[in-house]
Structure 1
């Protein structure tokens, strides 16, 4: 007489075959499904056949659950609830040069140098539209990218805080050679930080002179920033000291990242040196999320060149990473080959 027995088979090995895909709601039903599928006819005593039956049952259950979720999502979308697709999220950094969306002259890299604890990070935070951060954290290296859409044209500004390269001369030399504009920051209450800025300025001029094989140092697009103007009582460096030490072709601006004093003048000076519009200053444009920036750029495509088109807007690229040193070396070597002034890169 045929009888049906309830047999409980060892299924740990079977679960290992697809445990990596068991997540969320699926996992709560796995034991029930396996035990239910383990009720077999004694004539079918082959464990491999039983295991395959368990897997098929579980897969069918998951397929049914996924179908229900898809139907629920479809109803939610039809009722007016917007669903953000993962395909719309940025998967990599937005380099407008690589995408062919901006001209070379509209792409500038600002290299920020200076002694520790002088306020460089907070100055960059202000430029990126963020608030002042009271707590100090040592900076090893920071790289930011801000994208602009102004007057129908796109602009890209890369910000490199190369403070962490103080003990790596060759690495810092490469950062200097790839920099278009330089922001040198010292603290008005620390005279040693001002002396370091003077040394950095000489290092930049020496590197550029050697790279371009010039007889005299070139004019460097640099802005020297005396930060912490709010600490008037502890001031150790006067404006007269700075003007007497620096050459006339160096722009000097006193700022306070904490009080947001003088920063607009500093950002405007950087824009002027880089041939960028004044609207790149934080107070002159709206900062939007990166997805909104994409949408606005697409909607205004084809209107390039008209200064009166649309309000200026910008976005901070959340996935921006510093280009590899190989890329920077190629950039330096490429420019030297193009100018026929240097056969190989001298960064030591």
Structure 2
């Protein structure tokens, strides 16, 4: 039977609200929409066709609420292109690299692999880079992956830090991390000769692994920074600078550092930036730390703009949601890289 415009239709509003709540998960006290509030105050007698009509009204109300929410949250459409502008609310809640989001270029992304013996201060050195405080209490690091995002001169940059401490006793996993690294930070303690010997072994391993990946006949020259930590300790040094340069060569970037008082830290991070082709402003003393939401707003707001280079002071944000990429994805990256130089006959990780 058709309903004419002149006919009156009465609906049980209480029943509608109850059904609406069950479908949307709202409680009656939570409903603040003015239409629903005004309807809830009007008593209406029963009507036999409550089911179909109620469902129609519920769908209409839900549709109107969604439309209003979209208008409140989403920006307006661009009249020239017809495409809705990018909103920071649409950015993923999990950590996603700037390259995946299309906010930077591959050359602006750097992975630094950190290797060294236990208790040499690797974690505290990374804390310096991330803007955290020095920690006196030692806790063994299983594996740490950190990501710091930069905005320098109108460009977005990303540095991933992989502290591969747990791979010390797993050569295959360590080889995979080495092959995915762009630059390397090798750390030993100036008061521990064994830790220096381990750095020498790791340096040779890095050279051999990368030579094999690139199908070179001789060990490859690698972008590596050597860090002799604990320079603040008053005890006699077990390893001297002259011995380091004699063993590793004059061309190796070597710094005596103290993660505790900050000695030499700035030089280490600037050297890593130079080797990775990134600006000096990625060094912790050359930028200010901001929050991730502020960083996202800055990148999205300036995305695609021309002439934005040089605007704003250098800043950075630490991505606390960042997690180490899976070994499967790292392996694919290595295999993809090897095909650029030669046809791989077998896996380079073994």
* 1:263 to partner: Cα distance: 0.2
In the comparison of the two structures, how many residue pairs are matched?
282
Secondary structure, counterpart of 1:264 in structure 2:
helix
Which 4+ stretches in 1 moved above 4 angstroms? 58-62, 68-71, 86-90, 303-307
Partner of 2:170: 168
> Which one is further off, 299-308 or 167-176?
299-308
- The correspondence for 2:203, drawn from 195, 201, 204, is 201
CA–CA distance in structure 2, aligned partners of residues 118 and 265 of structure 1? 18
Could you tell me the TM-score, scaled by structure 2's length? Answer: 0.75
CA–CA distance in structure 1, aligned partners of residues 91 and 30 of structure 2? 22
1:237-283 per-residue CA deviation (whole Å, 9 max, x = no partner) reads 11111111112221100100000111000000000000000000011
> Which one is further off, 263-272 or 335-344?
335-344
* 1:59 to partner: Cα distance: 5.9
Partner of 1:156: 158
Equivalent residues in 2 for 1:55-204 (5 A)?
Answer: 63-67=27-31, 91-204=93-206
- The correspondence for 1:272, drawn from 271, 274, 278, is 274
* 1:94 to partner: Cα distance: 2.8
1:271-323 per-residue CA deviation (whole Å, 9 max, x = no partner) reads 00000000000111111110010111123333467542211111111110111
Partner of 1:327: 329
CA RMSD in angstroms comes to 2.6
Name structure 2 gaps, 5 residues minimum: 1-14, 37-87
Could you tell me the TM-score, scaled by structure 1's length? Answer: 0.75
Are the counterparts in 1 of residues 215 and 341 from structure 2 also a CA contact under 8 Å? no
Are the counterparts in 1 of residues 245 and 252 from structure 2 also a CA contact under 8 Å? no
Name structure 1 gaps, 5 residues minimum: 1-51, 72-85
Are the counterparts in 2 of residues 227 and 256 from structure 1 also a CA contact under 8 Å? yes
Partner of 1:21: none
CA–CA distance in structure 2, aligned partners of residues 328 and 136 of structure 1? 30
Partner of 2:46: none
Are the counterparts in 1 of residues 295 and 316 from structure 2 also a CA contact under 8 Å? yes
CA–CA distance in structure 1, aligned partners of residues 22 and 339 of structure 2? 60
Are the counterparts in 2 of residues 212 and 341 from structure 1 also a CA contact under 8 Å? no
Partner of 1:81: none
CA–CA distance in structure 2, aligned partners of residues 199 and 225 of structure 1? 15
Partner of 1:230: 232
CA–CA distance in structure 2, aligned partners of residues 194 and 313 of structure 1? 35
> Which one is further off, 92-101 or 184-193?
92-101
- The correspondence for 2:264, drawn from 262, 265, 270, is 262
